[in-house]
Amino acid sequence: MIRPMCLGIPVNHSIYRDDAAAISTVVLVFGLDESCEHCCDISTFLRAVNNNLIGMCEGVCESTVALECTALKTCSKCHITKPVGEFYKNNGNMDGLCYYCKECDAKTRKAHCEKNKARKNVVIPESKTCPGCKTVKIGLDFHKSRSNKDGLNYYCKECDAKSTKALREKNRARAIVVVPEFKTCPICKIEKSNSCFHKANGNIDGLQLYCKGCFLDRQRKLKYGASPEWIKATLEAQGGSCAICKFIPGTGDRGLDLDHVHGGGPRGFLHGKCNRGLGHFKDSVELIRKAIDYLNGSTTGIIYKVHLDKAIKNKILVSQGYVCRICSVDLHNKKVCIDHDHDTMMIRGALCNGCNCGLGCFDDSVILLTNAIGYLQKYETDSNL
């Protein structure tokens, strides 16, 4: 809305774009007759002036927006003048922007975090106020974070969990997730195809933060303490093969599993079946020795059938005292497996599910079971040194 005082129009009279009533009012103020040829020329002139003034105003508004987009500010850290879009917002400052640019801010935060992480001793406070729920809570109610000054996360565990859950649910609720064709892994700093990242609908781009290789190395480091250097040295020492069955994964094969001491560190790399076999035998050298004795022992002389008669099954269990032939666990009210020699089809005995699966993972091979004993004893010796 423009008030053209320069035309001698009273203040209470305004000119609007495409407002015929307003223009007619102006014509009446000047005592013009639109039926008169001369007055029509003046009337047309007024309409033109009105449109020009409004156009000038809109031009000023658009220029203001453009100025905001191209506005500059000098970073207090690197002293480089950059567009305001390169600064984070900060309502506490007069210009509404942070002192440092985003790049310098990131470098400063990283240096601060590294300095905090390098501390040998971190004094964790007994209590802390969570900025989310505004509640004073004990230190155990916060996740640890060595990068922070007090060694604790900013928000309590409860608020942190709620925030993470809300963000993931918001991302999952999206009808369409725009997955980028390429993405740069923040660990290896390499731009890779989206197929090199695991899917994660909870993330904004629908992909995991790290590529598959870096994600696996990171998980191994966090869970088992296996550093990339240790992984490389161990695989080279094993010749890239399983430490028990000597299987070498080829193209398209599943990689070797990282075997570890339960509650301890890593031991070596195993084929998936060998790793599961050790688990079924509870990493016990004694149980594996019993399994070898069981395989070298005699059979029951009964031919195996898929649907074995219940009376024959009970006869075998009674002859064993209702215990597993390998681990001697009580088989009452447990899953009973009738084990047999796959070459002769003769029943060897009744086993618990764990021992039966363990033999299957090692292909009923005395050689593989012997290798498994050597593998376990090697790392038992190394841990005792």
Q: What is the pLDDT of residues 307-352, one digit of tens each?
A: 889 999 999 999 999 999 999 999 998 999 999 999 999 999 999 9
- d(Cα 301, Cα 323) in Å, to the nearest integer? 19
* Cα–Cα distance list, 91 to 66, 77, 94, 176, 376 (Å): 22, 19, 7, 34, 62
> Residue 88: beta bridge partners?
none
Q: Name the token pair of 178.
A: 């725009």
Cβ burial of 157 (10 Å; 0-12, 13-18, 19+) is: middle
- d(Cα 131, Cα 135) in Å, to the nearest integer? 8
Q: Which is more confidently placed, 68 or 228?
A: 228
Pairing of the two strands 97-101 and 87-89: antiparallel
Element housing 72 (H / E): strand 72-74
Average pLDDT over residues 300-308: 90
Q: Please answer whether residues 268 and 238 qualify as being in contact, where contact means their C-beta atoms are separated by less than 8 angstroms.
A: yes
Q: Percentage of residues in the chain with pLDDT exceeding 70? A: 81
262: confidence class by pLDDT, cuts 50, 70, 90: confident
Q: Is the pLDDT confidence value at 78 over 80?
A: yes
3-state helix, strand, coil in the chain (%, to 5): 45, 15, 40
- d(Cα 15, Cα 54) in Å, to the nearest integer? 9
* Cα–Cα distance list, 81 to 96, 100, 102 (Å): 16, 11, 13
Q: Please answer whether residues 184 and 161 qualify as being in contact, where contact means their C-beta atoms are separated by less than 8 angstroms.
A: no
Q: Please answer whether residues 316 and 347 qualify as being in contact, where contact means their C-beta atoms are separated by less than 8 angstroms.
A: yes
Coil/strand/helix, residue 118 = coil
14: confidence class by pLDDT, cuts 50, 70, 90: very low
pLDDT digits (tens, 9 = 90+) for 119-163: 888 888 889 999 999 999 998 899 988 888 888 898 999 999 999
Please give the pLDDT value at position 324.
Answer: 95
DSSP letter (8 states) at residue 253: S
From 75-89, 110-124, 331-345, the region with the lowest mean pLDDT: 110-124
- d(Cα 142, Cα 147) in Å, to the nearest integer? 14
* pTM given for the model: 0.56
pLDDT digits (tens, 9 = 90+) for 192-241: 999 999 998 888 888 999 999 899 989 998 888 899 899 999 999 999 99
Mind listing the domains of the chain with CATH numbers?
5-70 (no CATH), 81-116 (no CATH), 119-172 (3.30.60), 174-224 (3.30.60), 270-384 (3.40.1800.10)
